[in-house]
Chain A
Amino acid sequence: MASAGGNCLTRNEWICGRYLTTRSDELQAAVREHVDLTVTSVAIGVALAVPLVLVARRWRPAVGLIGSITSILYTIPSLAFFALLLPISGLSTTTVRIGLVVYTLVILFRGFLAGLDGVPPDVLESARGMGYGPVRMLLTVELPLALPAIVTALRVATVSTIALVTVGATVGHGGLGNLIYDGLGSTFKAEVFTASVLCLALAVVADLLLVLLERLATPWRWRARARRRPGGRRPGGPARAAKTSVTASVPAAASPGAETAAGARP
Chain B
Amino acid sequence: MSLVVDGVRWLGDGAHWSGDRGILARLDEHLRYTGASVGIAAALALPVGIWLGHRGRGGALAVTISGALRAVPTFAVLVLLAIGPLGLGDRTTIVALVIFAVAPLVANSYVGVREVDPGAREAARGMGMSGWQVLTRVELPLALPMIMLGVRLAAVQVVATATIASLIGGGGLGRFVADGLVQNDRPQAFGGAILVAVLALVVDGALLGVTRLFTPAGVTTTRRGRGRRGRARPAGRRGTTGTTGTTGEETLGGTGASSSVARLGGAADLAGKPGTGL
* Chain A residues packing against B (C-beta within 8 Å): 14, 63-64, 67-68, 71-72, 74-84, 86-87, 106-107, 110-111, 113-115, 117-118, 148-149, 152-153, 155-156, 159-160, 162-167, 169-171, 177, 180-181, 183-184, 187, 189, 192-193, 195-196, 199-200, 203-204, 207, 250-252, 254-261, 265
Given contacts A86-B181, A257-B229, 4 further A-B contacts (CB under 8 A): A63-B228, A64-B253, A258-B233, A258-B235
- The CA-CA distance from A86 to B186 in the complex, in Å, is 9
18 contacts between A and B (CB under 8 A): A63-B255, A67-B255, A67-B257, A75-B252, A80-B189, A84-B3, A84-B190, A87-B186, A113-B258, A114-B262, A166-B75, A166-B76, A196-B80, A200-B72, A255-B263, A258-B266, A260-B234, A265-B227
Contact of A252 among B166, B181, B235 (CB under 8 A): B235
Contact B261 A251 (CB under 8 A): no
Contact of B254 among A64, A167, A170, A187 (CB under 8 A): A64
In the complex, what residues of B have CB within 8 A of residue A82's CB? 181
For B162, the closest partner residue in chain A by CB is A77
Q: A114 to chain B: closest CB distance in Å?
A: 3
Q: B92 to chain A: closest CB distance in Å?
A: 11
* Shortest beta-carbon contacts, A-B, top 5: A257-B232, A114-B262, A80-B193, A68-B253, A203-B71
Given A64-B253, A75-B197, A254-B265, does the pair A156, B70 have CB atoms closer than 8 Å? yes
Q: A200 to chain B: closest CB distance in Å?
A: 6
Among B50-58, B209-217, B269-277, the stretch in contact with A: B269-277
Given A196-B73, A255-B235, does the pair A71, B253 have CB atoms closer than 8 Å? yes
Is B126 interfacial (CB-CB < 8 Å)?
A: no
- The CA-CA distance from A87 to B259 in the complex, in Å, is 36
In the complex, what residues of B have CB within 8 A of residue A260's CB? 234, 238
Contact A265 B177 (CB under 8 A): no
- The CA-CA distance from A130 to B248 in the complex, in Å, is 34
Contact B262 A256 (CB under 8 A): yes
Is B11 interfacial (CB-CB < 8 Å)?
A: no
Contact B257 A159 (CB under 8 A): no
Contact of A166 among B73, B166, B232, B233 (CB under 8 A): B73
Is B267 interfacial (CB-CB < 8 Å)?
A: yes
Contact B253 A148 (CB under 8 A): no
Interface range on chain B (Cβ under 8 Å from partner)? 35 or more
Given A84-B189, A180-B79, does the pair A114, B181 have CB atoms closer than 8 Å? no
Contact A81 B247 (CB under 8 A): no
For A195, the closest partner residue in chain B by CB is B76
Among B40-48, B128-136, B153-161, the stretch in contact with A: B153-161
Q: B80 to chain A: closest CB distance in Å?
A: 6
Contact A149 B265 (CB under 8 A): yes
Q: B71 to chain A: closest CB distance in Å?
A: 4
- The CA-CA distance from A220 to B2 in the complex, in Å, is 55
Q: A211 to chain B: closest CB distance in Å?
A: 8
Is B180 interfacial (CB-CB < 8 Å)?
A: yes
> Most A CB atoms within 10 A — which of B227, B252, B270?
B252
For A167, the closest partner residue in chain B by CB is B75
Given A77-B193, A159-B274, A164-B73, does the pair A118, B262 have CB atoms closer than 8 Å? yes
Contact A265 B164 (CB under 8 A): no
Q: B119 to chain A: closest CB distance in Å?
A: 12
Q: A212 to chain B: closest CB distance in Å?
A: 13
In the complex, what residues of A have CB within 8 A of residue B196's CB? 75-77, 80
- The CA-CA distance from A155 to B269 in the complex, in Å, is 12
Contact A114 B76 (CB under 8 A): no
Contact A72 B163 (CB under 8 A): no
- The CA-CA distance from A251 to B266 in the complex, in Å, is 4
- The CA-CA distance from A180 to B163 in the complex, in Å, is 17
In the complex, what residues of B have CB within 8 A of residue A118's CB? 262
